[in-house]
Chains A and B, each alone.
Chain A
């Protein structure tokens, strides 16, 4: 009898200890086509978690531990299984993730909504996720491609072009971006002569370029990947003299573009997510101290996603998703004291005191509409074989 009593006492103690620890899932594509991108995002998220945990101010001194899960990128059922494990076996209070748009939609529908867990994705950009039914549980610190499309349409108009052809990589990302660009550009009074897909990993794109050239246009919008078919299309278009000006969205702006084409594509232009905020610079130096590269794509958004989850918990005074999901938009937006990277302790303290904060973070967070980043974009142009930053918008 005595031993039974002590056993149950120990169990109660264990349960109490377990309660004092908040677990946050980091569900990213650690394997698959974007595995090289996942590492820095996870490091960013985990940096925010340990920062808040070390401060000892979260929910009256609770510790936070990250639990990693692999959402792959292309395999929705693997992503769902990983999400299921985080929620049911690990009992996470929130999820930073998933990474690709397809995997994110699957985890949201099959795991997050049925179990009532908050998800903040640092990198899913499909416009489809803006309108998905999410019970207020889904947010993202990355801007929707619908926003990028509007920015891209504006930039093209400002270059004085009114007629463009569009080719996209044949997947969810490419199609989403191409479709939303078409409607944005036509709404701005421009004409899209053709929207044609191309498949990645082919040797020859002359047929695709032939069709694009026949449709005509003053420039070619290439919504593809620079290390894949996107470059093949540009090469073939240059060879046949079909187009010499290209509009380059986020998947195409990379150093390997100018390594391949040099000054052949001078005068081409584009945009990618990016901001010149002071939070970004602070984050870069924090990341360097932590031993990873903070300038990697979506690493800042990873930090911000994790920070938002914890700040919302603090504002609600509870790690219960149904309580803190209401607070995410509140802590992310004005009014309130501005909070930058490395200042999570300050933010937690203000919230504990019943104050108001406006989390700016590393990526200049401003959540709009259904809880997604409004997005800041870096406008670039190709000059003398170099990618030159024109400005931010």
Chain B
């Protein structure tokens, strides 16, 4: 019984939230890693791209709700996703045409492109705040829980409750589908293969007749889709506030770098590593230990490695460790 209680407490406060958060980070890191692999620069504007996509999705959700279309038990935002993706893709393609293409033709170094993307970040940031404001927006509807803590307690007779939110279930499911689709696209389709060729050796790809502008455009569309989906899932699970998306940049980059910049598998693994470290290191293990250990041995303190206010520092810590020990990341990406 105690073992079960410990397991349930651990699942409720560590495994479920960290899995959902990890899936959101992984989707974000996939977008970052694609820009690094194909476009050869670190896109700092990614967090605000996510915010923009989510914003359009929210506006579309409100539009759908006002004409009486809802998703029933699933959030309406999922139906509104295509609108968000389309608008974000349009924005990214326009940005590329207006800003990045110039530097690409100049063959500017990736450091210059990184700085350019900081400027793009400020513009997008302002755009989002201008349109939807800086406040919290909640747009989740449908059933709130797959399993609620109260029902679980009544059903299992345990002292500990287990809650799984609908948004958490949808996050993991959607992330799995999106990742599978992305890998199929990159490995099985002609366009995907040309993207990989372009990423591997740009000159060779040009010689063999691959149209660079087309590859770039497709990459931006994929990035827009990944960013919008990641942002919307995060917003459904937590809440939408433009500033928190800017803050997400750090864990997303940590995830991409841990896995190896430019490696899609690495981005996914990295996302989960960062999420589990953040939640695990700041979790107070007292409750779990007091179920597992015999009476008397249970800790008096909280058994917490880091205070929750240091949550953000965990990403930094991981970044520093990886850059010191294995700069190419776990899955041999480009060295940073």
Task: Please report A residues at the B interface, Cβ cutoff 8 Å.
Answer: 170, 194, 196-199, 201-204, 206-211, 213-216, 232, 239-242
Q: How large is the interface on B (under 10, 10 to 19, 20 to 34, 35 or more residues)?
A: 35 or more
Contact with B13, one of A194, A198, A213 (Cβ below 8 angstroms): A213
CB-based contact B278/A207 at 8 Å: yes
Task: List, in ascending order, chain A residues with CB within 8 A of B163's CB.
Answer: 239-241
B239 A201 Cβ-Cβ under 8 A: no
Task: Please report B residues at the A interface, Cβ cutoff 8 Å.
Answer: 9, 12-14, 17, 21, 145, 148-150, 152-153, 161-163, 165, 234, 237-239, 241, 243-244, 247-248, 278-279, 282-288, 302, 304, 307-309, 311
Pick 13 A–B contacts, CB within 8 A, sort by A. Answer: A170-B309, A198-B308, A203-B247, A203-B248, A206-B17, A207-B282, A210-B283, A211-B302, A211-B308, A213-B287, A214-B302, A240-B13, A241-B163
Tell me the minimal C-beta distance from B269 to chain A in angstroms. 21
CA distance A185 to B287 in the complex (A): 23
Where chain B touches its partner, the secondary structure class is helix
Contacts of B153 in A (CB 8 A): 241
CB distance from A127 to the nearest CB of B (A): 22
Whether the Cβ atoms of A201 and B302 lie closer than 8 Å is no
- Chain B residue with minimal CB distance to A211? B284
Contacts of B145 in A (CB 8 A): 239
Instruction: Give the contacting residue for A214; candidates B234, B284, B311; CB below 8 A.
Output: B284
The residue from B9, B150, B241 contacting A203, defined by CB atoms under 8 A apart = B241
Q: Which among A201, A207, A242 has the greatest number of chain B C-beta atoms within 10 A?
A: A207
List B contacts of A204 (CB < 8 A). 21, 237-238, 244
4 cross-chain pairs, A with B, having the tightest CB-CB distances, nearest first? A241-B149, A241-B161, A203-B244, A214-B284
CB distance from A277 to the nearest CB of B (A): 36
Most buried by B among A194, A209, A241: A241
Is the CB–CB distance between A210 and B279 below 8 Å? yes
Does the CB pair B150–A211 fall under 8 Å? no
A204, closest chain B residue (CB): B238
Bound-state Cα–Cα, A214 to B14, Å: 11
For residue A163, give the distance in angstroms from its CB to the closest CB of chain B: 14
Cα-based distance from A240 to B163 in the complex (angstroms):
5
User: Are the CB atoms of A210 and B284 closer together than 8 Å?
Assistant: yes
Q: How far is the CA of A208 from the CA of B13 in the complex (A)?
A: 10
Q: Closest residue of chain B to A216, judged by CB?
A: B287
- When chains A and B are docked, how far (Å) is the Cα of A281 from the Cα of B149? 45
Q: Say whether, besides A197-B309, A213-B13, A203 and B148 are in contact (CB < 8 Å).
A: no
Looking at the assembled complex, report how far the CB atom of B237 sits from the nearest CB atom of chain A, in whole angstroms: 8
Cα distance, A213 to B243, chains bound together (Å): 27
The reply to whether B13 and A214 form a contact with Cβ atoms under 8 Å apart is yes
A198, A207, A241: which contacts B12 (Cβ < 8 A)? A241
Q: Is the CB of B308 within 8 A of A203?
A: no
Cβ-closest chain A residue relative to B310: A207
Alpha-carbon gap, A241 to B17, bound state (A): 13
From A202, which residue of chain B is reached at the shortest CB distance? B244
Q: Which of A197, A204, A216 has the most CB of B within 10 A?
A: A204
In whole Å, how far is A152's beta carbon from the nearest beta carbon of chain B?
Answer: 23
Contact call A215/B14, Cβ cutoff below 8 A: no
B283 touches A208 (CB 8 A): no
- Choose one: B148, B243, B302; the contact of A194 (CB below 8 Å): B302
Closest to A170 in B: B309
- B244 partner residues in chain A, CB cutoff 8 A: 201-204
Q: Which of A170, A197, A203, A211 contacts B283 (CB 8 A)?
A: A211
Expressed in whole angstroms, the minimum distance between the Cβ of A218 and any Cβ of chain B is 14
Q: Are B309 and A211 in contact (CB under 8 A)?
A: no
Bound CA span A240–B237, Å: 13
Q: Please judge, given known A-B contacts A201-B244, A239-B163, whether A207 and B285 are in contact too, CB under 8 Å.
A: no
Contact A203 B13 (CB under 8 A): no
9 further interface pairs, Cβ-Cβ under 8 Å (given A210-B284, A239-B165): A197-B308, A201-B244, A206-B17, A213-B13, A214-B287, A214-B288, A239-B145, A239-B149, A240-B149
Give the shortest distance, in Å, between B215 (CB) and chain A (any CB). 34
The answer to whether B13 touches A206, judged by C-beta atoms less than 8 angstroms apart, is yes
Residue of A nearest to B20 (CB): A206
Say yes or no: B282 contacts A211, CB within 8 Å: yes
Residue on B nearest A260 in the bound complex, by CB? B138
Query: Bound complex: CA of A367 vs CA of B9, how far in Å?
Result: 49
Q: Which residues of A contact B12 (CB under 8 A)?
A: 240-241
User: With contacts A202-B244, A213-B13, A241-B12 known, is A207 near B283, CB below 8 A?
Assistant: yes
Q: Determine the chain B residues whose CB is within 8 A of the CB of A239 once the complex forms.
A: 145, 149, 163, 165
Which residues of chain A come closer than 8 Å to B311, judged between CB atoms?
207
Q: Is the CB of A208 within 8 A of B239?
A: no
What residues on A are CB-neighbors of B13 within 8 Å?
206, 209-210, 213-214, 240, 242
Interface centre among B234, B237, B287 (most CB of A within 10 A): B287
